[in-house]
Amino acid sequence: MNVAIIGCGVVGAAIAYELSQVPGIKITVFDRQPPAQASTGAALGVLVGIISQKVKGKAWQMRQTSVQRYETLIPELEAITGRTIPFNRQGILSLCLEAENSELWEKLVAIRHSQGWELEIWDTAKLQQICPQVNHPQVTGAVYSPQDRQLDPTALTLALVEAAQHHGVTFQFGVTVLSLPTTAATKCTSVETTAGKITADWIIISAGLGSTALTAQLEQKIDIRPVLGQALQLRLGHLQGNPDFQPAITGNDVHIVPIGGGDYWIGATVEFPSNGDEILPNHELLASVKQQAISFCPELASAEIIRTWSGLRPRPEGRPAPVIGELPGFSNILLATGHYRNGVLLAPATAMAIREKIISQ
């Protein structure tokens, strides 16, 4: 069986790796760029799973599946590739601001306990004792999720690619998919690219923003729009707070992510296009995200900016993210795209769903 995967961000790479473990499947992955260049390369890798407000249905099931899978996936990939994937196992600390509803958090803690997960509510005294770097008059406490994680999305994607190659997957980078010719009304049996044509029993579109044009060609347009995210790396030169406890800290949708050696990732902005699809990075917004991070952890005021970066996240228009499943009208084209801000978090669950779809046919 031949499978073609279009797009090699974290989702495409995760699907390639997952399918590479199924005997009898020949997999080819196409991408116009090297892996992890688009939205994956811009992500901060904060895996908001247990601490998310999603508590039931598919949205929660996918989060739970991914959180569980990451615990085995990271050591698995490191063993196959010999690479180290930065994986912060010290949890996520979500700061509570005065305006936030403490009843909502208490309810979530109870639900998670009933589902077998841990969440802790900390008052200001406990927060001050454990994370003295947090010092903001409006922070009234925090919710700590010891089982949530943060990882380096680029390192993860490169490891997925290498592990998939180890299992025989072919990757063609710098190759553009030109068309998906249809032979029958409901089937597309080949992929035409700038490097030639290959036949395929299954085609998986995991091309993020590139998915729109591909599906439009097939007259089943999945409208995915860009949302810009900017982030920056600060160098403080030493670890904030307790050096032995460095969780990812989040408050008011701003993440402060320790990445070792006294460096921190800060982000990310959420910037929508004003007209058309072009979005120019708004430097004032990035400056305000930095200020917000400093207001939570004042020590960061003395840090220097090492780099700033941005990327476009794929957000489905008029429907929930992500878009996973069959392309309407086609029996052998699967969509795994439009993950918006949760591509890294949901990559393992997406890959498992696609694998299930293919092997159950």
187-233 residue pLDDT tens: 999 999 999 999 999 999 999 999 999 999 999 999 999 999 999 99
CATH number assigned to the domain covering 92-146+225-315 = 3.30.9.10
- pLDDT, position 236: 97
Residue 35 CB neighbours (<10 A): 24
The phi, psi pair for 328, rounded to 5°, reads -50, 135
Whether 183 has a pLDDT exceeding 90, the answer reads no
Q: What's the longest Cα–Cα distance across the chain?
A: 67
Whether 98 has a pLDDT exceeding 90, the answer reads no
CA angle 183, 9, 59 (to 5 degrees): 90
- pLDDT, position 186: 84
Confidence of residue 41 (pLDDT cuts 50, 70, 90): confident
pLDDT digits (tens, 9 = 90+) for 232-254: 999 999 999 999 999 999 999 99
Q: Is 356 helix (H, G, I), strand (E, B) or coil?
A: helix
CATH 3.30.9.10 intervals, the chain:
92-146+225-315
CB 134, CB 296: distance < 8 Å: yes
For residue 334 the two structure tokens come to 């699967």
CATH 3.50.50.60 intervals, the chain:
1-86+149-223+317-361
For residue 1 the two structure tokens come to 């069986």
Determine the average pLDDT of the residues in 70-79: 98
Candidate from 6-20, 220-234, 248-262, 266-280 with smallest mean pLDDT: 266-280
CA separation for the pair 320, 329 (Å, rounded): 20
- pLDDT, position 194: 97
Determine the average pLDDT of the residues in 22-49: 94
- pLDDT, position 165: 98
Pick the CATH number of 1-86+149-223+317-361 from 3.40.30.10, 3.50.50.60, 3.40.1710.10, 3.40.50.300: 3.50.50.60
Whether 4 has a pLDDT exceeding 90, the answer reads yes
Whether 100 has a pLDDT exceeding 80, the answer reads no
CB 22, CB 11: distance < 8 Å: no
- pLDDT, position 337: 98
CA separation for the pair 118, 310 (Å, rounded): 33
The residue type found at 107 is K
- Looking at every residue in the chain, the average pLDDT score rounds to 95
Burial 284-308 (b: 16+ CB within 10 A, else e): eebeebbebbbbbbeebeebeeeee
- pLDDT, position 274: 81
Quote the pTM value.
Answer: 0.97
Percent of the chain exceeding pLDDT 70 equals 99
CB 145, CB 168: distance < 8 Å: no
178 Cβ contact list (under 8 Å, min separation 6): 192, 193, 194
Whether 7 has a pLDDT exceeding 80, the answer reads yes
pLDDT digits (tens, 9 = 90+) for 144-159: 999 999 999 999 999 9
